[in-house]
């Protein structure tokens, strides 16, 4: 049984007094799974340890960055080594060039790029750039797409908003929301209609090429290609938000996996190796609009932080073609085992997976858009989450977040997870 007695309970109580919901990001509050939140204080490979000393097999994976597993020695070593040089010095450092070039080598569509300190900032900046470069105001996004917490993106968004069943956020002005057009994910006809309705006014279409913030939804065949041709035909930009999918679904991200090249890409998570990070980049002619070369302003005191660059570079250097084969194989074994466990239990549940991103939906069929995903049985997920946690497996504390597997998740970890899942689904 999970024990929340002792040190963990005491710390959680202090956190509750200090932070809204006891947390510094909403999903950590475990609100939708009916359990007290965990207070985690250490990670090692595929495992994390709570403040009472209990270890869990972890599928949160730092919400994406931990593709090598936690506290990977090469990453830790690189960061420790970098600390001796005095953190951010307020000018460009060699490490920024190294990591920038490593990203570009994997994703050639980033002819030029900029680092930020979070995915939210990367998206905010890419949208400002799209508006500045096209002279247009409107942005098309997809229902359930999460692109960070910039005002204009908090419309019909996934992630924490889906978890808390919030359609949007208080404090976002009508003006900020008015310039965001929302259409259903996977629906190219709805995008065609939006271009017809708002002719000459759409600056960009932003999309998670694999939707991963209402649970995982792979792009339907031809969808990303349709977005590419529709934006091109209408003088708008295509932005792939690869904060999750970059270096996750393939070395070159979703754009490599699906063979569709966006004008702009946003990154985060893995490229920072677990340190705070974001990046955006794309066509050189577009990026030359960024200050000081052009009139679109964007900045950051700690952008390109040396510790982040060190962690990111060590992470990217550890990833090769074999890594993605391994992630795919681990994901496939997990998927097959979960499908079998679901079938044997007779439960209404389904699996969606792209590489090392997976969701078990309590829905008879894997959803094709956010509306379908949000109909999943949250209570069934909460019970499943609790049973898994009691068996020592930490899943994302929301039906609407992806499970992240890492290179540290081997056959033993998969088998332990499947054993726990068989029992949890049976109960």
Pick from 46, 119, 306, 396: which binds ligand PMP (CB under 6 A)? Answer: 119
Under 8 Å between Cβ of 248 and 357: yes
- Please tell me the distance from the alpha carbon of residue 83 to that of residue 334, in angstroms, as a whole number: 38
Nearer to ligand PMP (CB atom), residue 239 or residue 310: 239
Which of these, 380, 341, 383, lies nearest to 363 by C-alpha position? 380
* 56 is annotated as an active-site residue: no
Q: By CB under 6 A, which span of 2-10, 82-90, 238-246, 341-349 interacts with ligand PMP?
A: 238-246
Q: By CB under 6 A, which span of 16-24, 144-152, 355-363, 377-385 interacts with ligand PMP?
A: 144-152
- Assess 118 for contact with ligand PMP (CB under 6 A): yes
- Assess 397 for contact with ligand PMP (CB under 6 A): no
| Residues in binding contact with ligand PMP, number by CB under 6 A | 16
Pick from 123, 182, 351, 352: which binds ligand PMP (CB under 6 A)? Answer: 123
* 141 is annotated as an active-site residue: no
- Dihedral of CA 370/280/405/61: which sign? negative
Q: Give the contact letters, 203-222, x = binds to ligand PMP (CB under 6 A), - = no.
A: -----x----x---------
Q: By CB under 6 A, which span of 81-89, 140-148, 225-233, 340-348 interacts with ligand PMP?
A: 140-148
Pick from 147, 248, 378, 409: which binds ligand PMP (CB under 6 A)? Answer: 147
Strand 357-361 versus strand 403-404 pairing type? antiparallel
Q: What phi, psi does 146 have (nearest 5°)?
A: -110, 125
- Assess 268 for contact with ligand PMP (CB under 6 A): yes
- Assess 314 for contact with ligand PMP (CB under 6 A): no
Distances (CA, A) of 16 to 2, 50, 332, 397: 19, 17, 39, 18
Q: Give least dist CB 162 to ligand PMP, A.
A: 12
Which of 50, 141, 146, 263 does the annotation list as catalytic? Answer: 146
- Please tell me the distance from the alpha carbon of residue 358 to that of residue 76, in angstroms, as a whole number: 27
- Assess 160 for contact with ligand PMP (CB under 6 A): no
- Assess 376 for contact with ligand PMP (CB under 6 A): no
- Assess 243 for contact with ligand PMP (CB under 6 A): yes
Nearer to ligand PMP (CB atom), residue 120 or residue 265: 120
Which of 58, 156, 187, 241 does the annotation list as catalytic? Answer: 241
* 146 is annotated as an active-site residue: yes
User: Given the rule CB under 6 A, which residues bind ligand PMP?
Assistant: 63, 118-120, 123, 146-148, 159, 208, 213, 241, 243-244, 268, 278
Active site residues: 146, 241, 269
């Amino acid at each position: 049984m999970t024990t929340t007695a002792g040190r963990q309970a005491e710390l959680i109580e202090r956190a509750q007094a200090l932070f809204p919901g006891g947390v510094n990001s909403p999903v950590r509050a475990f609100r939708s799974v009916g359990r007290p939140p965990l207070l985690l204080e250490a990670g090692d490979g595929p495992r994390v340890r709570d403040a009472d000393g209990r270890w869990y097999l972890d599928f949160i994976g730092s919400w994406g960055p931990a593709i090598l597993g936690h506290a990977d020695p090469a990453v830790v070593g690189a960061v420790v080594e970098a600390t001796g040089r005095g953190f951010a010095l307020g000018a460009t450092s060699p490490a920024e060039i190294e990591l920038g070039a490593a990203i570009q080598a994997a994703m050639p569509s980033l002819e030029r790029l900029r680092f930020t300190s979070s995915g939210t900032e990367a998206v905010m900046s890419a949208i400002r750039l799209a508006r500045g470069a096209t002279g247009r105001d409107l942005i098309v996004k997809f229902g359930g797409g999460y692109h960070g917490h910039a005002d204009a993106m908090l419309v019909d968004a996934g992630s924490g908003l889906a978890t808390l069943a919030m359609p949007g956020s208080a404090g976002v002005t009508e003006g900020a929301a008015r310039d965001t057009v929302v259409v259903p994910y996977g629906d190219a006809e709805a995008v065609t209609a939006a271009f017809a309705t708002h002719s000459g006014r759409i600056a960009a279409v932003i999309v998670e090429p694999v939707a991963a913030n209402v649970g995982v939804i792979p792009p339907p065949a031809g969808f990303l290609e349709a977005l590419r041709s529709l934006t091109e035909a209408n003088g708008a930009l295509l932005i792939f938000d690869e904060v999750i999918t970059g270096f996750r679904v393939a070395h070159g991200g979703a754009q490599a996996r699906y063979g569709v090249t966006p004008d702009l890409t946003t990154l985060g998570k893995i490229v920072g190796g677990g340190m705070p990070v974001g990046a955006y980049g794309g066509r050189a002619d577009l990026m030359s609009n960024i200050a000081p070369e052009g009139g679109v302003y964007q900045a950051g005191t700690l952008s390109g932080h040396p510790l982040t660059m060190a962690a990111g570079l060590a992470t990217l250097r550890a990833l090769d073609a074999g890594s993605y084969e391994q992630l795919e194989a681990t994901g496939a074994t997990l998927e097959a085992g979960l499908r079998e466990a679901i079938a044997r239990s007779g439960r209404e549940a389904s699996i969606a997976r792209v590489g090392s991103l997976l969701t078990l939906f309590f829905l008879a069929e894997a959803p094709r858009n956010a509306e379908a995903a949000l109909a999943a049985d949250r209570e069934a997920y909460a019970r499943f989450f609790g049973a898994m946690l009691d068996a020592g497996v930490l899943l994302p504390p929301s039906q609407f977040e992806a499970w992240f597997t890492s290179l540290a998740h081997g056959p033993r970890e998969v088998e332990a997870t499947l054993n726990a899942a068989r029992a949890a689904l049976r109960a």
